[in-house]
Structure 1
Amino acid sequence: MNKPAATVQAGSISSRDMYFSILIVGGLFFIFGFVTWINAILIPYFKIACELTNFQSYLVAFAFYISYFVMAIPSSLLLKRTGFKAGMMIGFFTMALGAFIFVPSALTRTYELFLMGLFTIGIGLAILQTAANPYITILGPKERAAQRFSIMGICNKAAGILAPLLLAAVILRATDNDMVAQLPGMTASQKDAALDEFIERVIPPYVIVGIVLVALGFLVRISPLPEINTDESDDSVETNTSRSRVVEIFRFPQLVLGAVAIFFHVGAQVIAVDTIVGYAGSMQLSLSEAKVFPSYTLFAQICGYLLGVTLIPKIITQVRALQCCTMLGVVFTFLIIYTHGHVRVLGHTTDISLWFVVLLGFANSMIWAGLWPLALDGVGRFIKTGAALMIMGLSGNAILPLVYGYYADHYDLRTAYWILLPCYLYLVFYATYGYRLRRWSMSLATTPTTPENASIDS
């Protein structure tokens, strides 16, 4: 019989346990990335197989990520009841169920059923994210939180580089371009047969993914990860026990504004990764050639993470890194819109603007890592509910790609990238001003400077 996991106070974990826990949670972030960034291939894949418009194809991202908004608060209540580890196990099992739904979806070529499977995977991922992000935030010194998030980001994006390449290797064939070109001339029965064969290729990889997720659920349950008691982590935060925690968290401006920042950040990040295959296709690149561009974008993001791990906090503070990345996002957005001209890079002949979409990966690298510790700073015992609010911000992944798809259908793929500008402008606001607010007024809070908040507010 397994011994129950030890429950410890946040900030009181030994160095040995902290590093071992970071290693395990890093593995979780690898799984998050693998499941999440597969969408970069699924979007153009379903667009062909189910004969969709750009807007309809981005319902893949909507169905996957809207579950974060739906499940964030329930996830926090679940974790409060079950603890981190049991909650993570439930999250893995839920994701496995979603993966298995792909089997009847492919057999019937029913797009709505695929969306249900993606939504179910998203529910499980929402539970895991609600547990893992605050866990890594409090698993060590506050001033090194962005550094730990950078390590998690490397795990996540490394999986993101591999996922679309592996899935593409399994489901794409060299003859697919010819098949797509011949579709308009086929009879209805010939087209159905060709598309049925095309879509059924997703069954084997998703059956394997489902089995792996079930196994991981059992493994994380019996792992030596400590349970961290966050309910008693900060008595300096006054509470009114007669009021709901869900209501209480809205008195923290840095948290609420941080959740909005997460909304814009993740939406911009997913647009950069999930639209780049379609944008490359508009430059006459085949799907088999364009499939590598999400990996290029995520590799650029990993480069940013490596810089973060190296430079934070000795050379540059996590706040300054956040400010630099948000401003780079603004600059690269303008370059995507206004630069023209063909270049040959890494064997690809494309418009130069495509490579600025790739470089958005670098701009996005330290934003997630910078937002979480700033938004959760000072929320004390509300950290689980606060994390749930932050996870609700991940609905930006669901909504903003749809906005991009709408404008791509009504204008063109390049013009649709204007949606990124307000996203990065808000992030610049939060990185320079919004995170310092401690009360809902137009002036900054005059809270005393302590070693804890001084390490974050540089």
Structure 2
Amino acid sequence: MTTLTRDTPQQSTWLPMTIIGTLFFVFGFVTWLNGALVPFLQIVCDLSGTEALLISSSFYIAYVVMALPMSYVLNRTGYRNAMSLGLGLIALGCVLFAPAAETRQFSLFIVAQFIVGSGLTILQTASNPYLVKIGSPESAAARISIMGLLNKGAGWAAPQIFAVLVMGQFAGITQQSVAALSEAERALQIQSLADSLVYPYLGMAVALVILAVALRYSGLPEIDLHEEDTALASQHTEHSSVLQFPHLVLGVMTLFCYVGVEVIAGDTIGLAGSELGVDGALSLTSFTMCFMVLGYLLGLVLIPRLISQQSMLMISAGLGIVLALVIPLLDAQSTQLSAVLWGWLGIRELPDPIACIALLGLANAIVWPAVWPLALAGLGHFTARGSALLIMGIAGGAVLPLLFGVCADYFGIQEAYLMTVPCYAFILFYAVKGHRIRHW
């Protein structure tokens, strides 16, 4: 078996970069497909807002439940085999969408989403450290940024492809338009909608299996972290527990808040659009993803040349607070905001509240890459365990969208975005002070 070490020539990284780039595209496509899937299944399974967001919750909770088991699998199988296994699990989850759609059993959709999330868990666990180790440490940040752009680019493409392949003749359908039909017409249209889900997901499963087999026999070199782990273990530290680093623990809480509001921005814009009667509501996640890509590009250009990570994090959190506060106040009949920002480019205009939800993507983009280096600073040989704790922060994507759904059911979809204000406030606290705290 070929092993990749620090002495591997730089020119040999093109194959790993190409393969890992493909995987990051898969991450983004499968993850942000939820933005279209949530409002779609709300119609098909006749769900409340809270129930519909269980689709996202079951997906993200897999990261927490399966993280430790998947790390054990990774140690047993190696990185390349683990990545292939992850693709296989995602394919299995996609296959389960067929019987779930035919029977319209919401519980089957939940199981399928959990399996897809489990596959992504092992893919993320294997590919992220691999990405760092396939080249020089000095260029690792550039590699991660490139992968982030691929990930969010796939997030833009996913709802667009979903709209074409799954919606087809149902383009423009909303929960309101379905509710206006007679009982017989409604039942017929809902079943037709459900049936349209089968072949695209089976096709995706076949593509993932082919990719898994190709990856298994691709010659992707293994990486050996044992030498580095031994070196880190020999470092002296005055700390006896990873929990004795306040800036790390607060960083985990910050990522919990961040992933939650990121998922809310990406997965609820379709729900909001459907409730407000916006045409093509199921593809609105693409707007949020476009602004996330813009945020990544701004980060690449501005950090650290013109602005520090901490300052960019402060600006992002402040923008999130402002947007979340104004969403309930805006007129859903007005499109002035989008007309000023992008309407002159010929891009379709959106109601002002929906435009602000899309702009949350810009506020969210830089949080993940800014928090990680701040949270891991000075951990020494606790770095690996600190990284594992930070990954657990992904649980925010399972918990906070459900809370949003409850708020939306009780107070209204626009008013529900106020629950994200404390989350952005905590991110702001971490940017201003939390990352500097070294003692409890």
TM-score range, shorter chain: 0.7 to 0.9
Classify 1:330/1:226 alpha carbon distance in 2 versus 1 (closer, same or farther; 3 Å). Answer: farther
Among residues 102, 123, 126, which one is paired with 2:121 in the alignment? 126
Find the residue that maps to 2:335 and give its secondary structure: strand
Residue matched to 1:259 = 252
Cα distance change of structure 1 residues 311 and 430 upon mapping to structure 2, 3 Å threshold: same
Instruction: Deviation per CA, 1:111-139: give whole Å up to 9, x if none.
Output: 10011001000000011112223333455
Structure 1 gaps, min length 5: 241-246, 443-458
Moved more, 153-162 or 139-148: 139-148
Q: Do 1:21 and 1:225's aligned partners in 2 also have CA atoms closer than 8 Å?
A: yes
Whichever residue aligns with residue 332 of structure 1, its letter is: L
Determine if the alignment matches structure 1 residue 282 to structure 2 residue 275.
yes
Whole-angstrom CA distance in 2 between matches of 1:250 and 1:365: 27
The number of aligned residues is 426
Other-structure match for 1:136: 131
* 2:154 is the alignment partner of 1:159: yes
Structure 1 residues 386, 187: CA separation in 2 closer, same or farther (over 3 Å shift)?
same
Deviates more, 1:179-188 or 1:16-25: 179-188
Query: TM-score, structure 1 length as denominator?
Result: 0.84
Quote the offset at 1:146 in angstroms.
4.3
Structure 2: gaps (5+ residues): none
In structure 1, C-alpha distance between the alignment counterparts of 2:178 and 2:428, rounded to whole Å? 48
Match of 1:49 in 2: 44
Give the conservation status (yes or no) of the 8 Å contact 1:297–1:359: yes
- Contact 1:151 1:309 (C-alpha < 8 Å) held by counterparts: no
Alpha-carbon separation, structure 2, partners of 1:178 and 1:261? 35
- Aligned residue number for residue 26 of structure 1: 21
Report the CA distance shift for 1:391/1:231 in structure 2 as closer, same or farther (over 3 A).
same
**CA 1:322/1:132 → structure 2, altered by over 3 Å: closer, same or farther?**
farther
Residue 212 of structure 1 aligns with which residue? 207
| Alignment match of 2:297 (pick from 283, 298, 306) | 306
Letter in 2 for 1:35: V
2:326 maps to 335
> Alignment partner of 1:332: what SS?
helix
Cα 1:388–1:367 change in 2 (3 A) is same
Residue from 264, 280, 289 that aligns with 1:271: 264
Structure 2 vs 1, CA of residues 437 and 26 (structure 1 numbering), >3 Å: closer, same or farther?
Answer: farther
- TM-score when normalising by structure 2: 0.87
Distance in 2 of aligned mates of 1:19 and 1:324 = 35
- Retained in 2: the 8 A contact 1:283–1:350? no
> Could you tell me how far apart the structure 1 residues matched to 2:152 and 2:319 are?
19
* Paired amino acid for 1:5: T
The aligned counterpart of 2:81 is 86
The answer as to 2:282 corresponding to 1:291 is: yes
Contact kept in structure 1, 2:321 and 2:425, CA below 8 Å = yes
Counterpart code for 1:8: T
Kindly tell me: are residues 370 and 19 of structure 1, through their superposed partners in 2, closer, same or farther at Cα, counting changes over 3 Å? farther
User: Counterpart of 1:435?
Assistant: 435
Supply the AA of the counterpart residue of 1:430.
Y
- Give the C-alpha shift of residue 372 in structure 1: 2.7
Q: Is the 8 A contact 1:76 1:385 kept in 2?
A: no
Decide whether aligned partners of structure 1 residues 179 and 22 sit closer, same or farther in structure 2, where only a CA change above 3 A counts: closer
Q: Distance in 2 between matches of 1:302 and 1:236?
A: 35
Contact kept? 1:130, 1:384, Cα under 8 Å: no
Partner Cα distance (1:36, 1:380) in 2: 32
Q: Which moved more, 1:48-57 or 1:19-28?
A: 19-28
Amino acid at match of 1:259: V
Q: 1:354 to 1:183 in 2, by over 3 A?
A: closer
**Alpha carbons of structure 1 residues 171 and 111: separation in structure 2 relative to 1, 3 Å:** same
**Contact (CA 8 Å) 1:143, 1:313: kept in 2 or not?**
no
Q: 2 CA distance for matches of 1:348 and 1:80? A: 49
Q: 2:105 aligns with which of 90, 102, 110?
A: 110
* Equivalent residue number for residue 314 of structure 2: 323
The letter of the residue matching 1:58 is L
State whether residues 65 and 397 of structure 1, in contact with CA within 8 Å, keep that contact through their aligned partners in structure 2: yes
The reply on whether 1:62 has 2:53 as its aligned counterpart is no
CA contact (8 A) 2:287 2:358 kept: yes
Q: CA deviation at 1:79?
A: 1.9
Does the 8 Å contact 1:146/1:318 carry over to 2? no
Query: Which secondary structure state, in structure 2, belongs to the residue aligned with residue 232 of structure 1?
Result: helix
Structure 1 residue 198 displacement after superposition = 1.5
For residues 154-200 of structure 1, give each alpha carbon's deviation from its aligned partner in whole angstroms, at most 9, with x where no partner exists: 10111111111111111214456499746565446x65443222201
Bigger mean CA deviation after superposition, 215-224 or 85-94: 215-224
Aligned to 1:400: 400
C-alpha distance in 2 between matches for 1:185 and 1:356: 31
Query: Which deviations, in whole Å up to 9, do the C-alpha atoms of 1:89-128 show, x marking residues without a partner?
Result: 1111111111111111112111100110010000000111
**Alpha-carbon spacing, 1:239–1:136, altered in 2? closer, same or farther (3 Å):** same
Q: 1:8 aligns with which of 5, 12, 32?
A: 5
CA distance in 1, matches of 2:53, 2:5: 43
Query: 1: distance between equivalents of 2:322 and 2:174?
Result: 39
The DSSP-based 3-state class of the residue aligned with 1:342 is coil
Preserved contact between residue 96 and residue 112 of structure 2 (Cα < 8 Å) = yes
Confirm or deny that 1:418 pairs with 2:418.
Answer: yes
1:423 deviates by 1.3
Kept in 1, the 8 Å contact 2:159–2:286? The answer is yes
- Across the aligned residues of Structure 1 and Structure 2, the Cα RMSD in angstroms comes to 2.8
Q: Tell me, in whole angstroms, the C-alpha distance in 1 between the residues paired with 2:136 and 2:245.
A: 22
CA spacing shift, 1:320–1:150, aligned 2, 3 Å = farther
Cα distance change, pair 329–232 in 1 and its aligned pair in 2 (3 A): farther
